Amino acid sequence: MDRAIPKVAVVGSGISGAVCASVLATNGVCVTVFESGRGPGGRMSQRKEIIEDGKKVFFDHGAPFFTIRDNDVMSLVCKWESRALVTQWKESFGCVDCVSRKFVDNEKEGTNKMFVGVPGMNSICGALCCEHGVEAKFGITVGKLNWLEDKHVWELIGFDGQNLGQFDGVAASDYYVVSPWFTDVTGKKPPLDVTSNPELALKLQEVSFVSCFALMLAFEEPLSSIPVRSFSFKNSDVLRWAFCDSSKPGRLSSSECWVLHSTEEYAKRVITQFGLRMPSVSLLSKVAEELLQEFQKTVLGIPQPIFIKAHRWDRAFPTSAVAREEKCLWDISKRLAICGDFCVSPDVEGAILSGMAAARNLLDCFNCL
């Protein structure tokens, strides 16, 4: 293996993995990103759908926007802004009371600046995964990460058994890689075994997530009965948030597109009843209808949509932060970083901070070789 240029595998192209890959590549590391999904973004994905008349509609069905408090993250986002990957979403924010059916607390703009990727939330991860020094491979699930003690390298094996190559270091950017859920969903052992590092294993035991459904709706005409373009639901145990996706800057949809998020309690009820395996089309249709009914019951004058689809996010929001100070989990002896929002905070900013920390640890380690 060529020691002059270190090779790192990043598992996952969500924002933590993409930031980690970009920072490593900028510092001369040769990076390969492996992503199970068809495209980049993870929970910052954008969904493209074709509606009946052949028109394309787009939905940010994961994170609708993000806010920033940290100065390092702000300088990174300013760089993305100068590359036109990100912009501010200057919209009024409100709340609808499901009992009175009235909009309350409408603000001109939220208290924090709301940032969105352009033309979709996934644009940032997409651009970072195309940077010089980064090779991204989509539609590939890493099924096994083997540490070869004799060679001091990682060997990655795909879910279908294909050899994905050997690497000097690994950044695993999803808790799923070490989680028992991997076994619940696939019937196979999780790709990464951390039992040889009890400290890491103990921290990872603390990780837990809550789930959520996202409802994607497209309408022929703008929903003029709604005074704001993003709002929360008060007194609903079904719906939590609604966002008018097509009102974000630079969007490509010609129809009025909305994304609604369920409450965590609603998602829990459905998952308890139907289990964690891949939801069937009929289950997702049933969920979509229930969420739409709650929307129409709460907000008067909502017509039938021309497109409706639900998506389940099994691990939408982590409820713990297992590496708040260090910002990622790190095994120096194996040049292994585990990063993601679950290390810092349940949002895009937390994931960015974690990806940066993972890259910093790996770079420090390579500089000492």
Ligand X SMILES: Cc1cc2nc3c(=O)[nH]c(=O)nc-3n(C[C@H](O)[C@H](O)[C@H](O)COP(=O)(O)OP(=O)(O)OC[C@H]3O[C@@H](n4cnc5c(N)ncnc54)[C@H](O)[C@@H]3O)c2cc1C
Query: Which positions touch ligand X (CB under 6 A)?
Result: 11-17, 34-37, 42-44, 62-66, 141-142, 173-174, 176-177, 191, 212, 214, 261, 313, 316, 340-341, 346-349, 351
Minimum distance, C-beta of residue 143 to ligand X, in the bound complex (Å): 7
Minimum distance, C-beta of residue 2 to ligand X, in the bound complex (Å): 24
Nearer to ligand X (CB atom), residue 253 or residue 345: 345
Nearer to ligand X (CB atom), residue 133 or residue 158: 158
CA distances from 23 to 17, 37, 100, 354 (A): 10, 22, 50, 12
Collapsed DSSP state (helix, strand, coil) of residue 253? coil
Minimum distance, C-beta of residue 263 to ligand X, in the bound complex (Å): 11
Helix, strand, coil shares, percent, the chain, to 5: 30, 30, 40
Nearer to ligand X (CB atom), residue 10 or residue 299: 10
User: What's phi and psi for 120, nearest 5 deg?
Assistant: -145, 165
Residues 6+ apart with CB under 8 A from 181: 276, 314, 315
Nearer to ligand X (CB atom), residue 150 or residue 284: 284
Q: How far is CA 133 from the centre of its chain?
A: 23
Nearer to ligand X (CB atom), residue 37 or residue 55: 37
Q: In this structure, what is the dihedral angle of CA atoms 285, 286, 291, 295, given to the nearest 10 degrees?
A: 90
- Decide the pairing of beta strands 239-244 and 47-50: unpaired
Minimum distance, C-beta of residue 198 to ligand X, in the bound complex (Å): 23
Minimum distance, C-beta of residue 17 to ligand X, in the bound complex (Å): 5
356: left (phi over 0), alpha (psi -120 to 50) or beta: alpha
